[in-house]
A and B are shown apart, each in its own frame.
Chain A
Amino acid sequence: MKKGRIKVMLGNEACVEAALLAGCRFYGGYPITPATEILEIMSRRLPLVDGLCLQMEDEIAAMVAVVGASWGGTKAMTATSGPGFCLMQEAIRLAVAVEAPCVIVNVQRGGPASGQSTSTAQGDFYQARYGSNGDYSLIVLCPSTAQEMFDHTIKAFNISERFRIPVIILSDEVVGHIREKVFIPDADQLTFVERKKPTVPMEDFVIFKPEENGVPLMPTFNTGYKSPVISQAKSQSGNRGNAKEAAENIHRLVSKIEDHMDEFAEVQVYGDEKAETAFVTFGSVCRAARSAVDMGRDKGLALRSIEVKTVWPFPDDLVRRALAGAKRIVVAEMNLGMLQREIERVIRQPEIKIELFSKIGGIYPQPQEFLRFLEEKR
């Protein structure tokens, strides 16, 4: 049993609480509903721990400042919603290219474009993974409760430092704005990961030469390493690379994460693990699905709900295992079918059609709608 305290707080507030515990001392942000609370709370809390919260002139500046702060030696983060997330894409992939640990929270809202600022949605599922140019990989976590906003933020900082990658917390308006109990462990009950730094003299250090796990050591600026960190395709020395070096670097950036998914991938199963009918969900929809499973059990229906907690890189094996034996699979999401495509890709059994329970327009699905869907679409 961990030692700590319980507090009732907004999902967005739980995110800040966790970030500060994890050691985040730079926040670059821009106001956008429904993520603004994160910026506002950071602006109140960071000065008290000698950190800096900067409301930048736009989301692009916010994300680039986060990358600068990361190379400056600090744990850094930003938060936004769909429209701002679009603006940040180039800068997120900059963080991938220069291997800068950082955390980005996207509290999804109705889209496209300005969409519905105060309504929930899950339309950024693919943007989180494929929103920018070129080949790369990164890690995306999906909280469904205020507690998970807390837990996933701690995890996000840790894996971003471990893999030197931007980690995206793909939240949504329901999770960001819900107010519920969060258990905050005491700091000594938590493990925090710090990026590994070089100790050899500068002459012996090659800036982008990886360690065994595919991740290079990261020197902080002004500690004697005179690091050339460029956004272009590069060789290990940091200079512009030729075709072979550029390709090798891209392979490494992808495999450093995808070869080590067992360190962070997470899928949970709720309900009857052997039930023939399974829901698959991510983010806030997990909660409605859980209630639907409970409601179904009361009616004598055996149901299970698969909750994908780390949606990218997509945990193919964990999902297949969680769905083993299912004869009817219903993906429930607040978009027109994105997680559905991944499930179709992963479960290639011709006799099973991957059904889609899609709810868009901004109203959160009710548990009884799940059961009605099962009934009507039989």
Chain B
Amino acid sequence: MNPLGEKYLRKDFLPFLFCPGCGDGMIVQAFLQAVDDLGCVDDLALTAGIGCSAWIGVYMHVDILKVLHGRAIPAAIGIKATNPSRKVVTFTGDGDCLAIGGNHLLHAARRNIDMTVVMVNNQIYAMTGGQVAPSTVVGSKTQTTPYGNIEKQLDGCKVAIAAGATMVSRWSTAQPKQLTRAFKKALNHKGFSFIEIMSQCPVQTGRYLLGSSSPQFNFQWLKDHCVKEEDPSKWAEIEAQGKIPVGDFLQIEQPEFMEEVARMNQRVKEAQAKGGDR
């Protein structure tokens, strides 16, 4: 166990249930590195839903509430609302976040609640055996699209930006240093931050869609297909080549929800004390 693991992992829950070479374990490490650099482990409260990526947070020795499929974001809102000084981070997957949990992503981003949603995108429903996901490439032959996927892909970053997120980044597990940097940025960002992580799934995506279940092949696939491009006007060109733009896409300052709530409560209480209306 490396020193970072010794310091931060929940030892009695090991080993990681992830498959050999899975990107999820790399995300555990990249996140813990960020937490270690910032020294903020005691302020962390995690939530997660269902799926392989939902287990990322369970192995960290922090408070975690692992709820139902797709519902990690409202759980995070409940935890944040009861103590806004917490650093709330949700680990979710492409199915958990964009399909069943899509509605919750929209509204948490819209509110600009100070929390971080980490969406681990392996372009498939891996835990249940390889079914199509909203993020699966057109034409893919998955367990539920045996004749080829005819649905368009949903881009989580574009959805988050449109819904009002104030920090949006996409990186991959092939770039752990950039990941750690993005995590630190998100943990310090005051507002809704969304980090999409392209992650390798050798056993489902690799085996069924890319032609190989070798961890090295899948890792290399990410290195080859993730191209740093932070200018949205160039994304269409990259996507047309079958590649994925990554980078820090957005970071702006907007009124944060819990601060606005506190301000409103103050105003209302003062008005009531004066005997007036709000």
A and B touch in the complex (CB under 8 A): yes
Identify the A interface with B (CB < 8 A).
25-26, 28, 47-48, 50, 52, 54, 56-58, 60-62, 64-74, 76, 90-91, 94, 98, 221-222, 224-232, 237, 239
- Closest B residue to A60 by beta carbon equals B71
Q: B residues 12-66 with Cβ under 8 Å of A?
A: 12-13, 42-45, 47, 50, 58, 61-66
Given A57-B104, A71-B79, decide whether A221 and B45 contact each other with a Cβ distance below 8 A. Answer: yes
Pick the contact of A48: B66, B80, B268 (CB < 8 A). Answer: B268
Indicate if the CB atoms of B76 and A68 lie closer than 8 Å. Answer: yes
Indicate if the CB atoms of B83 and A61 lie closer than 8 Å. Answer: no
Pick the contact of A225: B47, B63, B265 (CB < 8 A). Answer: B63
For the complex formed, measure the closest distance between the CB of B178 and the CB atoms of chain A, giving whole angstroms.
Answer: 28
Nearest 9 CB-CB pairs, A to B? Answer: A68-B78, A72-B82, A69-B78, A65-B78, A68-B75, A61-B74, A64-B74, A230-B66, A221-B63
User: What are the residues of chain B within 8 A of A52 when measuring CB–CB?
Assistant: 81-82, 261
Whether B227 sits at the interface, judged by CB under 8 Å, is no
Given A47-B268, A230-B66, decide whether A57 and B103 contact each other with a Cβ distance below 8 A. Answer: yes
- Closest A residue to B110 by beta carbon equals A57
Identify the B interface with A (CB < 8 A).
10, 12-13, 42-45, 47, 50, 58, 61-68, 71, 73-83, 86, 103-104, 106-107, 261, 264-265, 268-269, 272
- Closest B residue to A69 by beta carbon equals B78
Task: Give me 8 other A-B pairs in contact (C-beta within 8 A), A28-B74, A47-B269, A48-B265 excluded.
Answer: A48-B268, A56-B107, A68-B81, A71-B79, A74-B82, A221-B63, A222-B83, A229-B63
User: What are the residues of chain A within 8 A of B58 when measuring CB–CB?
Assistant: 228, 230
- Cα separation A9 to B66 with both chains bound (whole Å): 40
- Cα separation A25 to B265 with both chains bound (whole Å): 13
- Closest B residue to A225 by beta carbon equals B63
User: What are the residues of chain B within 8 A of A74 when measuring CB–CB?
Assistant: 82
The total number of A-B Cβ pairs within 8 Å is 136
- CB<8 Å pairs between A and B, sample of 23: A47-B265, A52-B82, A61-B104, A61-B107, A64-B75, A65-B77, A65-B78, A66-B78, A68-B75, A68-B77, A72-B80, A72-B83, A72-B86, A90-B68, A94-B67, A98-B67, A221-B86, A222-B45, A222-B63, A228-B58, A228-B66, A231-B67, A239-B12
Pick the contact of B63: A47, A60, A70, A227 (CB < 8 A). Answer: A227
- Cα separation A60 to B58 with both chains bound (whole Å): 23
- Cα separation A239 to B15 with both chains bound (whole Å): 12
Indicate if the CB atoms of B74 and A98 lie closer than 8 Å. Answer: no
Pick the most buried of A61, A73, A225, A226: most chain B CB atoms within 10 A of its CB.
A61
- Cα separation A98 to B68 with both chains bound (whole Å): 11
Indicate if the CB atoms of A226 and B68 lie closer than 8 Å. Answer: no
Pick the contact of B71: A61, A72, A226 (CB < 8 A). Answer: A61
Indicate if the CB atoms of B107 and A57 lie closer than 8 Å. Answer: yes
Indicate if the CB atoms of A72 and B78 lie closer than 8 Å. Answer: yes
- Cα separation A98 to B63 with both chains bound (whole Å): 13
User: What are the residues of chain A within 8 A of B73 when measuring CB–CB?
Assistant: 61
Indicate if the CB atoms of B65 and A239 lie closer than 8 Å. Answer: no
Pick the contact of A26: B10, B12, B78, B272 (CB < 8 A). Answer: B78
Indicate if the CB atoms of B65 and A71 lie closer than 8 Å. Answer: yes
